[in-house]
């Protein structure tokens, strides 16, 4: 069954995971997209603000996207997203972390320009196994309404 706009009222939506994150993944992502010493080099990372090897914040955001895809976007009538309203890196992603993602709907409104769609704004919080919040993401997604809703 495909989820439509009507399935996303404001409020808690669900928790997804765990997603294990290996050291190899962290190093591979950093080498490709964010080759800063704190993400690539154990010794340099120890001296960094984050006091140890940490994953790129872009890696963490991309992992959250994947967890949302697996959790619900893959079965949602989603047309795409105009962007991210806010992305906060709160604590470092560490090698071996098992991520959980808590998702809530912060706003759901009908689109003015496309009456057969609505804009659902999601807030996702990624946590490690200790429950520490690592990253907060707020992003709107354009979602189709139930068949026939909004038709002229």
Binding-site ranges for a copy of itself (CB under 8 A):
29, 32-36, 38, 48-50, 56-59, 61-63, 65-66, 69, 73-74, 78-89, 142
Shortest CB 58 distance to a copy of itself, Å: 4
**Cβ-based nearer residue to a copy of itself, 11 or 85:** 85
**Contact status, residue 42 vs residue 23, Cβ threshold 8 Å:** no
Alpha-carbon distance 34 to 41, whole Å?
Answer: 12
Closest approach of a copy of itself to the CB of residue 124, in Å: 13
CA angle 16, 110, 149 (to 5 degrees): 95
For residue 78, count other CB atoms closer than 10 A to its CB.
Answer: 20
Closest distance between a copy of itself and the C-beta of residue 6, in Å? 20
Name the DSSP letter for residue 145.
P
Query: Nearer Cβ to a copy of itself, position 24 or 86?
Result: 86
Question: How far apart are CB 108 and a copy of itself at their closest, in Å?
Answer: 19
Q: How far apart are the first and last CA of the chain?
A: 25
Nearer to a copy of itself, 100 or 134 (CB): 134
Torsion of CA 116, 103, 80, 19, to 10 degrees: -140
Question: Of the two residues 7 and 116, which places its CB atom closer to a copy of itself in the complex?
Answer: 116
């Amino acid at each position: 069954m495909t989820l439509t706009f009507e399935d996303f009222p404001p409020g808690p939506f669900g928790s997804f995971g765990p997603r294990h994150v290996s050291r190899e993944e962290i190093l591979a992502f950093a080498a490709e997209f964010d080759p800063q010493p704190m993400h690539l080099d154990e010794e340099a990372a120890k001296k960094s603000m984050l006091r140890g090897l940490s994953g790129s914040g872009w890696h963490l955001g991309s992992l959250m996207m994947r967890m949302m895809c697996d959790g619900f976007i893959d079965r949602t009538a989603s047309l795409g997203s105009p962007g991210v309203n806010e992305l906060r890196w709160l604590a470092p992603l560490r090698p071996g972390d098992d991520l959980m993602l808590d998702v809530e709907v912060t706003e759901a409104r009908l689109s003015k320009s496309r009456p057969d769609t609505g804009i659902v704004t999601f807030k996702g919080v990624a946590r490690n196994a200790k429950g520490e919040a690592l990253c907060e993401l707020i992003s709107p997604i354009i979602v189709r309404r139930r068949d026939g809703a909004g038709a002229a």
